[in-house]
């Protein structure tokens, strides 16, 4: 073919044009590749930063939830308040181990460490996270990334309140090379945690990079031009902590380099083929590239559902498959992160975060509906707390308790409609959102749930009987704000628990009662701690000898502003809140101490004290009385313990075991208010009691009502046949006293003899009684 021929010129022109186009295309595509590689790396870095921050946020919420649970635990707060270091350390380690926390610390409000999960605290060492506490004081809690002893930790701090802040719980996860590698696996990027030194250089605290790179101690050694890098500054309470996210540009462009080789081959073939072949080749190349570009835009917008549709089997096809795999991996990671953030890992229910989000969304939707002039929407929220769950945990162990929570979650899911949301808010507390139910509908649902949970649950051969208490609120009747609704649902729940009604709808008067109870609780704590309570003593008369050898210790509270507060007001309240333990210990200490004082003065009086049901199931009760007897040097036979029938029947086997241990110490035991409960004689004959006290409700009117006298006479005969003494309380007239003497009652007490008296007045009364007795005998 002549070079001057048209075909040749056309061929040459076409070839030259093809060559020029191909070379230009090659150059352009190379530029686009580099640009796309950089752009893709930046998008990956942006996505990775979001993933990284969500991981930190999820870990922070996990730490905050665990720290809040331990800080809100009453036993833990009591241990902190009483400086029970062993209990504090044990509680910190237990709660920390549940979420695999690497550091759990307790600090005083003035910044001194009192407990540390890493080992015994060295005296009152200064708290290394003082700035974290300052932030938490302003915000209620705080989360930060901080270096401690050369290691990096993600730490949260929450206050321990009783009700004021008495300490701070700090809980955290270590951030080391393993953590960096885990995050690197999650984000497909290299991750390094850096700390700025005093000389301005950067120190590497943790990294997913190889050891050779990790060994460098400056940021310049880690970041270079072969890496796309993003630096994220983290909140660290005064120190500069940075996270460096890196993506190797060589790894990003490697697939594109193969693409360039393919393009060069196509260029050579295109010169030999024809314009048609060139056009076909160009088209075959541009289509996959366009698909990749569209895919990149979808990924950038957060759409991971549609894969790249590339049917080629060449490098572009492999690249498309790689992009599809990357898309699936990112989607799976985001799904997993979302699951961590919004699902409860134990029960599979929604967690508090999701519940709050759905509740807030429901409020906003209802408001928008009302603003548009449509019929107002209404929905209800229920707060539910399991009854006796703590008892299950304490007696059967936490694994059984966890299985119980899972079974409860299953029953709740099955009992509710698909549109309803049930969530585990923490511990044994659940929340239910009923988006289409008003107050009446919510009450029907609550009654159904109570009935569902009444059926006993069998777990590993153990029959577990657990109920629930539910508080109900309705939007907007009981509040237009999420926090108000949750708080009032919580108040209603405690009303249901206190009244044992199963469920209760919020009422405004509950708020006043709650504030009053909170104030009374605070003042009661102050009364015990500052020794404001008093003990009065009511004498017991021995009818056979006419002598007074026994007195009953009764607690009294003369409030500086409220005046006299009846025991009927604060004792039941103390039992419900668990503070009865502190009051009982105070009463026992003061009563046994007074007994020692009387003995030193030559007055031989046995003192009886009352013990509640909550105290009776405490396995440490015998040790407590043994220590008090040793402390005051009082013989055990001078101390009587009175227990009600109901206290014994709450847990008969445990109660009998505790009573046996008390009896072994030499302490005398009496059953108080006998006849008002439902005690079984089979249990009564097993108990090592010495005395029965007939309730005053039978004694006071026995001379006017034959049925009451029959009960009193039968009780006296029953007790004597069992070898027990009998005390009748509520003796207010001479007629009743005479009738009890005729029936053979052993001891009596009541207003007819004497009201409860303080120690000094009781001593005077004893002298007057002896004078009267001597005069009567003369």
pLDDT tens profile 679-724 = 556 667 778 899 999 988 889 889 888 888 998 999 999 899 989 9
User: Residue 165 forms beta bridges with which residues?
Assistant: 161
Per-residue model confidence (pLDDT) at position 136: 75
HSE, CB side, 13 Å, CA atoms: give it for residue 26: 18
Per-residue model confidence (pLDDT) at position 752: 92
Per-residue model confidence (pLDDT) at position 265: 74
Average pLDDT over residues 407-425: 90
Average pLDDT over residues 350-372: 86
pLDDT tens profile 49-95 = 888 888 888 888 888 888 888 888 888 888 888 878 888 888 888 88
With b for 16 or more beta-carbon neighbours within 10 A and e for fewer, the 358-381 pattern comes to bbeebbeebeeeeeeeeeebbbbb
What would the 3-class secondary structure string for 172-220 be? EEEECHHHHHHHHHHHCCEEEEEEECCCCCEEEEEECCCHHHHCCCCHH
Residues of the chain within CATH 3.30.450.20 domain(s) are: 73-175
Strands (DSSP E) found in 467-514? 467-475, 503-505
pLDDT tens profile 287-323 = 666 666 776 776 666 665 666 666 666 666 677 677 7
Q: What token pair was written down for 321?
A: 């498959």
Residues of the chain within CATH 3.30.70.270 domain(s) are: 352-506
pLDDT tens profile 321-349 = 777 777 677 767 766 666 666 788 888 88
pLDDT tens profile 427-438 = 889 999 998 788
Total residues belonging to the chain: 778
CA distance 445 to 451: 10
User: Which class is domain 518-777?
Assistant: alpha beta
With b for 16 or more beta-carbon neighbours within 10 A and e for fewer, the 150-173 pattern comes to eebbbbbbbbbebeebebbbbbbb
The values of phi and psi at residue 531, to 5°, are 60, 40
pLDDT at 284 exceeding the cut of 50: yes
What CATH number should be reported for the domain whose range is 352-506? 3.30.70.270
Average pLDDT over residues 180-195: 83
Q: Give the domain 73-175 fold.
A: Beta-Lactamase (3.30.450)
pLDDT tens profile 534-581 = 999 999 999 998 999 999 999 998 887 777 877 877 777 777 667 788
Look-up of token digits 């009662």: 513
Q: Left if phi > 0, otherwise alpha if psi is -120 to 50, otherwise beta: which for 166?
A: alpha
174 within 8 A of 218, measured Cβ to Cβ: no
What pTM does this model have? 0.42
């Amino acid at each position: 073919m002549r070079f001057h021929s048209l075909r040749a010129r056309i061929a040459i022109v076409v070839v030259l044009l093809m060559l020029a186009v191909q070379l230009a295309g090659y150059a352009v595509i190379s530029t686009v590749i580099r640009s796309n590689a950089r752009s893709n790396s930046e998008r990956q870095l942006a996505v990775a930063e979001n993933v990284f921050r969500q991981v930190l946020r999820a870990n922070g919420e996990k730490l905050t939830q665990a720290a809040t649970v331990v800080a809100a635990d009453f036993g833990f707060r009591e241990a902190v308040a009483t400086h029970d270091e062993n209990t504090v350390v044990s509680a910190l380690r237990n709660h920390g181990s549940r979420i695999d926390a690497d550091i759990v610390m307790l600090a005083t409000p003035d910044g001194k460490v009192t407990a540390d999960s890493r080992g015994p605290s060295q005296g009152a060492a200064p708290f290394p996270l003082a700035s974290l506490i300052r932030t938490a004081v302003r915000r209620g809690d705080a989360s930060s990334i901080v270096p401690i002893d050369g290691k990096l930790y993600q730490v949260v701090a929450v206050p321990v309140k009783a009700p004021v802040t008495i300490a701070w719980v700090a809980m955290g996860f270590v951030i080391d090379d393993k953590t960096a590698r885990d995050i690197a696996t999650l984000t497909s990027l290299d991750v390094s945690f850096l700390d700025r030194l005093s000389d301005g250089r950067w120190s590497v605290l943790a990294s997913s990079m190889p050891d050779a790179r990790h060994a460098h101690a400056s940021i310049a050694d880690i970041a270079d031009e072969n890496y796309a890098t993003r630096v994220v500054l983290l909140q660290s309470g005064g120190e500069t902590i940075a996270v460096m996210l890196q993506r190797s540009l060589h790894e990003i462009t490697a697939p594109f380099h193969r693409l360039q080789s393919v393009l060069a081959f196509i260029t050579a073939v295109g010169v030999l083929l024809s314009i048609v072949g060139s056009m076909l080749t160009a088209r075959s190349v541009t289509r996959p590239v366009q698909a990749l570009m569209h895919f990149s835009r979808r990924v950038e917008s957060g759409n991971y559902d549609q894969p790249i549709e590339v049917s080629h089997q060449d490098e572009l096809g492999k690249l498309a498959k790689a992009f599809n795999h990357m898309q699936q991996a990112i989607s799976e990671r985001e799904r997993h992160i979302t699951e961590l953030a919004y699902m409860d890992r134990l029960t599979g229910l929604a967690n508090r975060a999701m519940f709050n989000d759905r509740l807030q969304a429901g409020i906003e939707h209802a408001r928008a509906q009302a603003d548009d002039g449509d019929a107002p929407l209404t929905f209800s929220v229920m707060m539910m707390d399991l009854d006796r769950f703590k008892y299950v945990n304490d007696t059967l162990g936490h694994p059984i308790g966890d299985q119980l929570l899972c079974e409860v979650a299953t029953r709740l899911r099955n009992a509710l409609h698909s549109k309803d949301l049930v969530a585990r808010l923490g511990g044994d507390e659940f929340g239910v959102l009923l988006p289409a139910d008003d107050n009446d509908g919510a009450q029907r649902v609550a009654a159904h749930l109570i009935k569902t949970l009444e059926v006993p649950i069998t777990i590993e051969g153990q029959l577990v009987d657990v109920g629930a208490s539910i508080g109900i609120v309705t939007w907007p009747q009981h509040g237009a704000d999420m926090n108000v609704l949750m708080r009032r649902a919580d108040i209603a729940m405690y009303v249901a628990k206190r009244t044992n009604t199963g469920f209760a709808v919020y009422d405004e008067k509950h708020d006043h009662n709650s504030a009053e109870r909170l104030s009374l609780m605070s003042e009661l704590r102050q009364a015990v701690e500052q020794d404001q309570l008093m003990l009065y003593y009511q004498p017991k008369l021995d009818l056979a000898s006419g002598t007074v050898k026994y007195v009953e210790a009764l607690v009294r509270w003369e409030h500086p502003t409220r005046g006299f507060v009846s025991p009927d007001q604060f004792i039941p309240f103390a039992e419900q809140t668990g503070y009865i333990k502190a009051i009982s210990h105070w009463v026992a200490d003061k009563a046994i101490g007074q007994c020692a004082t009387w003995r030193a003065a030559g007055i031989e009086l046995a003192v009886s004290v009352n013990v509640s049901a909550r105290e009776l199931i405490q396995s440490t009760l015998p040790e407590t009385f043994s220590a008090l007897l040793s402390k005051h040097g009082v013989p055990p036979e001078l101390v009587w313990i009175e227990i009600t029938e109901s206290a014994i029947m709450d847990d008969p086997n445990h109660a009998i075991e505790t009573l046996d241990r008390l009896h072994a110490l030499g302490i005398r035991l009496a059953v108080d208010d006998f006849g008002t409960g439902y005690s079984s004689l089979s249990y009564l004959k097993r108990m090592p009691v010495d005395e029965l006290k007939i309730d005053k409700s039978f004694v006071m009117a026995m001379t006017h009502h034959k049925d009451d006298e029959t009960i009193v006479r039968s009780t006296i005969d029953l007790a004597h046949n069992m070898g027990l003494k009998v005390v009748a309380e509520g003796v207010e007239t001479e007629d009743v006293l005479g009738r009890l003497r005729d029936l053979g009652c052993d001891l009596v007490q009541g207003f007819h003899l004497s009201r409860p008296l303080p120690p000094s007045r009781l001593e005077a009364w004893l002298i007057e009684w002896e004078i009267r007795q001597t005069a009567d005998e003369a």
